[in-house]
A and B are shown apart, each in its own frame.
Chain A
Amino acid sequence: MTQTIHLTVNGAAREAVVEPRMLLVDVLRQTLGLTGTHVGCDTSQCGACTVHVDGVSVKACTMFAVQADGGAVTTVEGLAANGQLHPLQTAFREEHGLQCGFCTPGILMAAADLLNRTPNPSEAEIRHALEGNYCRCTGYHNIVKAIQHAAKEMHSMSMEPMPTGAMTEG
């Protein structure tokens, strides 16, 4: 029992044949080959699967693919635009905000969502916004610094909030 869904993923029109029980994260990883979004748990706690659907951060492990039908999905592969890294990506490199890299896509997407809503967050607001993400490597210290760094960069660039479908490779 399958159905065909249509999504815009990182700006590109995609379609997939899915069972109703299939999770959005599985469609992204297995059907569409976008393995940047990771699965770290099975109870929606770890946040490694965080993506944006219609401009809002969502845990792709807790959403059925059919629920995303007709929607616009942005994954970590869609953060960079026109060959240029997103300020969050450069900030995480500058501040050593990642070690093994496995939680990183989810953290980047959660951070992007935070900065869309709160362009100039305090340390407390940043830490609170990460309540849906686990990192086992960094102790969060440099993650917080990286997000602060990105916020400053984006403020000085007067960046618009991230569009729901960045024009980049799908």
Chain B
Amino acid sequence: MTGYIGNSVKRVEDQRFLTGKGRYTDDIVLPNMTHACIVRSPYAHARLRSVDVDAACAHPGVVAVFTGQNMRGDGINSLPAGWQIGDDMKEPPHYPLAVDKVRHVGDGVAVVIAESRTAARDAAELVAVDYEPLPAVVDAAEALQDGAPRVHDDTSDNLAFHWELGDKAATDAALAGAHHVTTYEFVNQRLIPNAIEPRSAIGDYNGATDNLTLYTSSQNPHLIRLLLCAFVTGLPEHKVRVVSPDVGGGFGSKIFHYPEEVICAWATRKVGRPVKWTAERSESFMTDAQGRDHITKAEMGFDADGKLVALRVDTTANMGAYLSTFAPAVPTYLYGTLLAGQYTTPNIYVHVNGVFTNTVPVDALRGAGRPEAAYLVERTMSLAAQEMGMDPAELRRKNMIPADQFPYQTPVALQYDSGNYEAALDKALAMVDYPALRRQQQQARAEGRFLGIGFSSYIEACGIAPSRVVGALGARAGLYDSGMIRVHPTGKVEVFTGVHSHGQGHETTFAQLVAHHLQIPMEDVEVVHGDTSRIPFGMGTYGSRSLAVGGSALYKAMQKVLDKARKFAAHTLEAAEEDLEYTNGRFTVKGTDRSVGFGDVALTAYIPHDYPEDMEPGLEFNAFYDPANFTYPFGTHISVVEVDPGTGLVEILRYVAVDDVGNVINPMIVDGQVHGGIAHGIGQALFEGAVYDEDGQLLTGTYMDYTMPRAEDFPMFEVDRTVTPCPHNPLGAKGAGEAGTIAATACVANAVCDALAPLGVRDIRMPMTPERVWRAINTAPGGGDGLMHGNGHPG
């Protein structure tokens, strides 16, 4: 019964997923249900002159067709942005269906509601939209230039916000006086999240009770209910239930409040029947919030010994056509504050412009700002090592914050609570036998082969977030969470958590946590998540927060349960509370064999014939937990790659990860999160990238054109851990969901460039596709003709 924590307990949720009994939103069928198909703009930028729905309405099977004007006419408001960045952030409206203009390919214009999916799709083609195409702007830097097409008419230009952090004067001076400055100008390319489950929503209005249920594939149902009710529709919050059933992956893309949620919630009231919408994949491509898309110049200054003296960063961040829910925070507070990395850089200054363009909105994607920061710091460090003729591991070690310097106040607002960066670095170096690896590389070079070793010593800030702190920084929501423990009369326990598992295994790990502390069997614990009518307000799962924040809330609730249980037990045993010890699920009077079990205490609480005078019956408590700080996972990843000069193909020979995520509840699940995170990060380095043409057409609009990694692209990963518990939450947990992604992109990018360094290749634009690698080799100072006929090693 005890000993659940730290064990790789097999997952509870697997039973239904493995037998095809998962319940994802599109699996849900309601009586009398209709199907919605959304008419979307094929233009990136156009005035909406008219939308003629007559032909569509007349199509067999069509129940109704609605436009943006219909929704506005009913008082439906704009989707809100959840962070205010700077005093003059522009927030032009974002209506669920466009009213006057469409601003990206895929922007919704009308919705057809029909008896079947096919009828809806057929009728959608009959909606006659009169567009007046306008010039589009796609690149964020171009969008800031004079004369660029203006995405929003009611703003003077395309600058959504600007932001800065750090001491500019001190940083400028330190850079000017630096012995060596490495300058790196690069693009952190736009990514498309592509969770394998497309987004889906069902609006189900009950006219008799005036209650609305919205099923949605969301990572945070409570937040959706709040935004839907308070900001967009005005529906009373207590009459709306939002249910996120099984969700097939999110990676951030299912955090945001999307137009389709509003459309389904509104349309069901209009037609008096359930309305279901499920994205087709090519629709997901043009509507799911996309990620990254920064244009950056980084300047890193060192003294003569290779110690960092300054980092200056200028970033232009593409926001897309509208500000999505989290979007303004991603290239600012979740990015600029991580630019110290693991290092003692004394002077840092960052300036960011957030820019509107005629592309799909950009928002948080696995790591959300921290991968962008880690890529910048870790790629520049490796470049600097190369330029200064230093070993990249030693340059990092020289600059790492020593283990005895915590808590460590960085020059970019964050105070790191705990860490031992050198220990993780040393562990990773030992795992690869670094000296032997460099000898192997020398040997390979002598044979004309291109072996590369890449490092990434990352830090991240997650477990979001302390509400007062983020509120002061412009967040419009608190980032606490809820945990409720309901003990039933027979001693069985239901756990209600405000976070929402979409692959992370909370039904297992939270049951482990509760069973461990309440000292009852795991089979007696059921974890409930994803239903606003059952669960106190919580903020959902993202930002590697579920255990650190959600789990801590549960811990607090458990303490309340155990305190009351102890009082009841003391009464039953006619002993003082302090004379009781609780072991193996029983309260025992010390030094005697008189005891009462948890189950009996529960029964006493619910059949309260004999219980303390000053207490109430029942045994059920909720707790809200607002973290005191972010948490700071860290680690070092090392990758070994071989590049085939004849084809430009990069083969990953080894990938080693040492991560410190604090205390671990279920090692198997944490490792799984690290594997998946690494896959995402490597995806960015070698495979993925959203491409728009100059007219704003999304060229990478399906899986045919947007490459994601497959099983053959990876080796087995080698993962290990150091454990530095988080000092400020009761679980000592830091969060593990994003760490792999944050580390991996720079790790592999560094390895590829290390492989090609002898040829004089300095950098390759991501994704480092075979073509780009091949071109880099053949245009490099040390490459060219000799390699075009070269002994292309199969690798």
Q: Which A residues are within 8 Å of any B CB, using their own CB?
A: 19, 21-22, 29, 33-43, 45-46, 48, 75-77, 79-80, 85, 89, 92-94, 96, 98-105, 108, 123, 126-128, 130-131, 133-144
> Are A93 and B14 also in contact (CB < 8 A) when A39-B198, A100-B503, A136-B194 are?
yes
Contacts of A135 in B (CB 8 A): 196, 711
Q: How far does the Cβ of A62 sit from chain B's closest Cβ, in whole Å?
A: 13
A89 to B19 alpha-carbon distance, docked (Å): 8
Total count of chain B residues near the partner, CB < 8 A? 56
Among A19, A37, A99, A134, the residue within 8 A (CB) of B20 is A37
Q: Is the CB of A38 within 8 A of B282?
A: no
Q: Which of B566-610 contact A (CB under 8 A)?
A: none
B708 touches A139 (CB 8 A): no
Can you name the residue of chain B whose Cβ is closest to the Cβ of A75? B20
Q: A137 contacts which of B11, B15, B20, B676 (Cβ < 8 Å)?
A: B676
Chain A residues closer than 8 Å to B196, beta-carbon distance = 38, 40, 46, 48, 100, 102-103, 134-137
Can you list, as one digit per residue, whether each of B211-245 has a CB less than 8 Å from chain A (1) or not (0)? 00000000000000000000000000000000000
B: residues with CB less than 8 A from A are 8, 10-11, 13-22, 24, 26-27, 29, 118, 194-198, 246-249, 251, 280-282, 502-505, 668-669, 671-672, 675-680, 702-704, 708, 710-712, 714, 716-717, 740
Chain A residue contacts of B15, Cβ below 8 A: 93
Q: Which residues of B contact A37 (CB under 8 A)?
A: 20
Interface of A is mostly: loop
28 A-B residue contacts at CB 8 Å? A19-B118, A33-B29, A38-B197, A41-B702, A42-B280, A43-B703, A45-B704, A77-B20, A92-B18, A93-B15, A96-B10, A96-B672, A99-B672, A100-B195, A100-B196, A101-B248, A102-B195, A105-B20, A123-B716, A126-B711, A127-B710, A127-B712, A133-B711, A136-B679, A139-B714, A140-B711, A141-B716, A144-B716
What residue in chain A is nearest B278 (Cβ atoms)?
A39
Residue from the list A42, A93, A102 in contact with B249, Cβ < 8 A: A102
Say how far B673's CB is from chain A's closest CB, in angstroms: 8
Determine if B19 and A101 form an interchain contact, defined as CB atoms under 8 angstroms apart. no
Please indicate the chain B residues that have their CB under 8 angstroms from the CB of A127 in the complex. 710-712, 714
Q: Is the CB of B676 within 8 A of A99?
A: yes
Closest residue of chain A to B678 (Cβ to Cβ) is A139
Hey, which chain B residues are within 8 Å of A19, CB to CB? 118
Distance between B688 CB and nearest chain A CB, rounded to angstroms: 11
Does A144 contact B703, Cβ atoms closer than 8 Å?
no
Contact B712 A92 (CB under 8 A): no
CB-defined contacts of B680 to chain A, threshold 8 Å: 136
Which 8 residue pairs across A and B have the least CB separation, nearest first? A36-B20, A102-B248, A101-B17, A139-B679, A100-B503, A99-B503, A45-B703, A139-B675
Whole-angstrom CA separation of A140 from B118 in the bound complex: 35
A130 touches B27 (CB 8 A): no
Cβ distance A71 to chain B, nearest Cβ, rounded Å? 19
Q: How far is the CA of A46 from the CA of B708 in the complex (A)?
A: 10
Bound-complex Cα distance A19 to B60 (A): 15
Residues of chain B contacted by A96 (CB below 8 angstroms) = 8, 10-11, 668-669, 671-672
Contact A41 B716 (CB under 8 A): no
